[in-house]
Amino acid sequence: MVCDVVWAETAGWFRELDVMRRTLDELTIDYRPVGERAATAAGEAWRRYREAGGPRDRLIADFLIGAHAEVETDQLLTRDRGFFRRYFRDLTIVDPTVDPTQV
C-alpha cells in the first residue's frame, strides 16, 4: 500500500493517471491516505528529530511515509534504512539493494 505522499511522488513519473493506476493494480499496490493516527505519529517523530538537532533536510513527508507504514502495516520498502529505523522502530525495513528477493 502507499500513502498520499508516495502516491503523489509516483504520479510525477507517469504522464497518464490511467497508466499509473493500471501499473499499481498489476503490482497489487493499494492507495490508503494518511489518517489522523499516522499524521499525529509523524508530527511527534518530526518533533523528536528537530529537538535532537536534526537538520531541516528531512521533510515532514519522510515522517508521514514512515508513520503511515508503521500504523497501517509493519514494513516499509526503502533504501533509507538508518533514518526509518531510528524514528520508526516497530517497522521492518525491506531494502531492495540488500536483498532483492524480499521485494
Check residues 95 and 81 and name the one with the higher pLDDT.
Answer: 95
- Domain positions in the chain are 4-102
- pLDDT tens, residue by residue, 31-66: 999 999 999 999 999 999 999 998 777 889 999 999
Global pTM?
Answer: 0.85
Partner residues linked to 2 by β-bridges: 31
- Domain 4-102 = CATH 3.40.50.10860: no
Burial code (b: 16+ CB inside 10 Å, e: under 16) for 8-20 equals: eeeeeeeeeeeeb
Cell 528531512: give the residue: 58
Q: Which of 91, 71, 72 is nearest to 80 (CA)?
A: 91
Ramachandran angles phi, psi of 56, nearest 5°: -75, 10
29 band by pLDDT with thresholds 50, 70 and 90: very high
In the chain, % of residues over pLDDT 90: 67
